[in-house]
């Protein structure tokens, strides 16, 4: 494998990771590579270490540093601390429309981060086709974060709020 091919492969891996691509296959002449990034973060370095070993076996001994660099760069994110947002419940939009966090312009918002919300409580309005649809919380807990801004167009299934259930 040429040095330029290794550099291209390293750039491809970084590109796939940055866009959170789950799976990728490369079949170029006699070279076949399959990458899967959908494993849990703790298990990801093991799959990447196999890739690093494959790259090392293909390279000339003088060019082993790039494969080691690829593995080291891939292993660094796995050492990150546990996700602080783990265990949070996300309220998602049931429809496409425009998000409004308060009942009318200038009024106080339905909910704000740090407040407690009850199951069935209205958390926002989504305007769709000139109809104002009240969105209710499907869990009781503390509002951690509002993930959209007032007047923002939203999609079906888009996260709106993160709630720490109680």
Q: What is the mean pLDDT of residues 132-156?
A: 94
Last residue of a domain, one of 78, 111, 135: 78
Asked whether residue 142 is assigned to any structural domain, the reply reads yes
pLDDT tier at 73 (50, 70, 90 boundaries)?
A: very low
Q: What is the pLDDT of residue 19?
A: 74
Query: For residue 85, what are the CA distances in angstroms to 117, 142, 144, 160?
Result: 18, 13, 9, 14
pTM score of the predicted model: 0.50
Range(s) of the domain holding residue 100 = 89-165
Give the total number of structural domains in the chain.
2
Claim to verify: residue 161 and residue 98 sit in the same structural domain: yes
Claim to verify: residue 72 and residue 18 sit in the same structural domain: yes
Q: Are 44 and 23 in contact (CB under 8 A)?
A: no
Claim to verify: residue 96 and residue 41 sit in the same structural domain: no
Mean pLDDT of the chain, nearest integer: 77
Claim to verify: residue 7 and residue 71 sit in the same structural domain: yes
Claim to verify: residue 48 and residue 95 sit in the same structural domain: no
pLDDT tier at 154 (50, 70, 90 boundaries)?
A: very high
140: domain CATH number? Answer: 2.40.50.100
Residue-wise pLDDT tens digits, 42-71: 444 555 555 556 556 555 444 444 444 444
Q: What is the pLDDT of residue 48?
A: 57
Claim to verify: residue 46 and residue 17 sit in the same structural domain: yes
Q: List all residues 6 or more positions away from 100 whose beta carbon is below 8 Å from its beta carbon.
A: 124, 125, 126, 127, 132, 150, 151
pLDDT tier at 117 (50, 70, 90 boundaries)?
A: very high
Q: What is the mean pLDDT of residues 70-78?
A: 49
């Amino acid at each position: 494998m040429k040095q330029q091919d290794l550099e291209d492969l390293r750039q491809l891996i970084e590109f796939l990771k940055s866009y959170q691509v789950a799976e990728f296959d490369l079949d170029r002449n006699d070279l076949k590579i399959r990458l899967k990034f959908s494993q849990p973060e703790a298990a990801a370095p093991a799959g990447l270490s196999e890739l690093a070993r494959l790259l090392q076996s293909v390279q000339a001994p003088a060019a082993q540093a790039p494969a080691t660099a690829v593995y080291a760069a891939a292993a660094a994110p796995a050492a990150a601390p546990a996700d602080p947002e783990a265990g949070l419940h996300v309220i998602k939009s049931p429809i496409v429309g425009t998000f409004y966090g308060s009942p009318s312009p200038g009024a106080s918002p339905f909910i704000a981060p740090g407040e407690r919300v009850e199951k069935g409580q209205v958390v926002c309005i989504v305007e769709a086709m000139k109809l104002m649809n009240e969105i209710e919380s499907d869990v009781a807990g503390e509002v951690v974060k509002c993930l959209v801004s007032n007047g923002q167009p939203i999609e079906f299934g888009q996260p709106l709020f993160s709630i720490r259930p109680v």
